Amino acid sequence: MGYGRSSRIRTCDPLLPKQVRYRAALYSDVGAGIASALANRKKLYKGEYSSRHAIRGAAPAMKLGLKTAMIPVDGAAQPAARCLEDGGLVAFPTETVYGLGADATNSRAVARLYEAKGRPSFNPLIAHVSDLQAARQIARFDDRSLRLAEAFWPGPLTLVLPKATGCPVSDLATAGLETIAVRIPAHPAARDILRAFGKPVVAPSANLSGHVSPTTAAHVLGDLDGRIDLIVDGGPVSVGVESTIVGCFETPLLLRPGGLPREEIEQVLGEKLARIPDDGGKADAQPLAPGMLASHYAPRTTVRLNAATLERGEALLAFGPHLIPGSDQAIVMNLSEAGVLVEAAANLFGYLRDLDAKGPRAIAVMPIPHDGLGEAINDRLQRAAIPRS
C-alpha cells in the first residue's frame, strides 16, 4: 500500500504528555478525539476517503466523519508531529492566522487537506519550515531573497522562489509549479511543531475554502469540525491577516499584501515592489498568486465598503473614534477605536465572522487608510465585498 506505514499508526493516538492529559478536562474531547483519530486512520487506510469529490468543487457542507480533537499548545508539539507523520491534518496557530497543516512530502496527506478545505486543486500551498537551512532544502535563494529571509524570518512573510533540485515537497502541494512558496512562522507553537516534525508542513489558512481565515481555535472548529484530526489551541493570533507574499522574480512582486507592510520590505530591498496587475474584481480572473481568487475572504452577508452613512438594517464595521451617521441604533463593531491599523488587522476576520453571524441585511465598512497594514486590510475587504453568485 503506497501510503501505509503500519508500524507507525500510533499517531494521533499520541502518548500525550501528562500535562495535556491533566488539562484534558478543559478540552474534554481530547481522549475520545485521540481514540477516534485512530479510527480515522483505519478508514484512511481502507481507502474510504476519496479526495476527488472535494478537489473538484466547492466545499460540501457535510462533515467527513472524523472526530476532531482539540488540545492546548503546552505539550502539543509531539502529538501534533506524530499526527502529521501519520498523514493527519493538524490545525495550529501561526502569528498571522491559524494554519491547517499536512506533511508536505506526503501526497496522500496533501490530498486529504484539499478535501478537508474543499479547496480547488489549482491553488498551491505555502510550505512552512522551522529554519533557513530547512528552507534551502526546498527552495533556491539568491542574494535578494536571502536578505529578505534574514530581515523578516521568522515572521509574516512568504517568499515564492524557484524549487530546489530534489525538493521533496509533493507536486500536488505546489500545483505542479516550478516555484514554491516558503515561510518560517514566528509563533512559538508553530515553530515547536515544525521542529518536532522535522519536515516541511504545508498549511493554508484553516478555514473552508472561500471562508474568512480563522484567528481563533473556535473559528477553526466552526469550519472544520469532523473534517480534520487535531486542533492546537493557542488562543487568538497576534497579526490577524495572512502573510505578505513576495514573488522573488527578476522584478520582485507583491503577490499578496499581508501582515508585513510593503514599506518595510521595500526598505530592505532598496527598490519598489511591483504589484501584480489587479484582476479588477472579476471572479474568474487568473491572478499570479493563484489563490488570490477575487471573491475569497468572504462572509455570507453582503459587504459595502467606504460607507459614509449607515442604511437601515445594516451592521457597521467601524474604524476610528468617529462613527458615521445612522450608527446609533445599529450593531457596531469597531476594528480600532484609536484608529490603529495593527489592532484593526488583528480584529478584522473575527469581527467579520461575528457580524456575519448576526445576520444583518449588509455589513457597511467605514473607510480605512491604505498605508502600512491598511493595504492588506483593504485588499481582504475588497475581496469580501465582491458579489458572489
Q: Which is nearer to Mg ion, 189 or 208 (CB)?
A: 208
Stretch that binds ligand TXA, among 68-76, 118-126, 142-150, 327-335 (CB under 6 A): 118-126
CA–CA dist 191, 246 (Å, integer): 21
180 touches ligand TXA by CB under 6 A: yes
Min dist CB 214 to ligand TXA, Å, is 9
CA–CA dist 79, 71 (Å, integer): 9
**Residue with the closest Cβ to Mg ion?**
205
**Contacts with ligand TXA: how many residues (CB under 6 A)?**
29
Phi (first) and psi of residue 57, to 5 degrees: -130, -165
Q: Which is nearer to Mg ion, 205 or 327 (CB)?
A: 205
205 touches Mg ion by CB under 5 A: yes
**Residue-by-residue DSSP string for 218-256:** HHHHHHHTTTSSEEEE--S-SS-SPPEEEEESSSEEEEE
Stretch that binds Mg ion, among 11-19, 57-65, 200-208, 314-322 (CB under 5 A): 200-208
**Looking at residue 142, what DSSP letter applies?**
-
124 touches ligand TXA by CB under 6 A: yes
Dihedral over Cα of 274, 138, 243, 51: its sign: positive
CA–CA dist 292, 310 (Å, integer): 30
Q: Which residue has the cell 533557513?
A: 132
Pull the grid cell for residue 247. Answer: 514573488
Position among 89, 160, 201, 298 found at the interface with ligand TXA (CB under 6 A): 160
Q: Which is nearer to ligand TXA, 41 or 88 (CB)?
A: 88
CA–CA dist 32, 35 (Å, integer): 5
Residue 118, contacted partner among ligand TXA, Mg ion, none, CB below 5-8 A by kind? none
Residue 203, contacted partner among Mg ion, ligand TXA, none, CB below 5-8 A by kind? ligand TXA
Nearest-Å Rg of the Cα atoms of the chain is 21
Q: Which is nearer to ligand TXA, 16 or 98 (CB)?
A: 98
Pull the grid cell for residue 381. Answer: 475587504
Min dist CB 361 to ligand TXA, Å, is 29
- Residue 118, sorted as left (phi over 0), alpha (psi -120 to 50) or beta, turns out to be left
**Mutual angle of helices 341-357 and 217-224, in 10-degree steps:** 40
181 touches ligand TXA by CB under 6 A: yes
Position among 30, 289, 298, 315 found at the interface with ligand TXA (CB under 6 A): 289
**Residue with the closest Cβ to ligand TXA?**
291
Residue type, 307: A
Position among 36, 40, 68, 96 found at the interface with ligand TXA (CB under 6 A): 96
Q: Confirm if 99 and 92 have CB atoms less than 8 A apart.
A: yes
Min dist CB 17 to ligand TXA, Å, is 24
Q: Which is nearer to ligand TXA, 273 or 310 (CB)?
A: 273
What are the strands of the beta sheet with 314-318, ordered from one edge? 302-304, 362-365, 314-318, 332-334
Residue ranges in 334-363 that form contacts with ligand TXA under rule CB under 6 A: none
**Contacts with Mg ion: how many residues (CB under 5 A)?**
1
Task: Output the CA–CA distances (angstroms, integers) from residue 295 to 168, 280, 344, 382, in the order listed.
Answer: 32, 11, 21, 8
Q: Which is nearer to ligand TXA, 99 or 118 (CB)?
A: 99
Min dist CB 387 to ligand TXA, Å, is 21
Position among 51, 105, 243, 347 found at the interface with ligand TXA (CB under 6 A): 243
Beta bridge partners of 334: 318
Binding site for ligand TXA (CB under 6 A): 94, 96-97, 99, 123-126, 158, 160, 174, 177, 179-181, 183, 185, 203-205, 242-243, 245, 255-256, 289-292
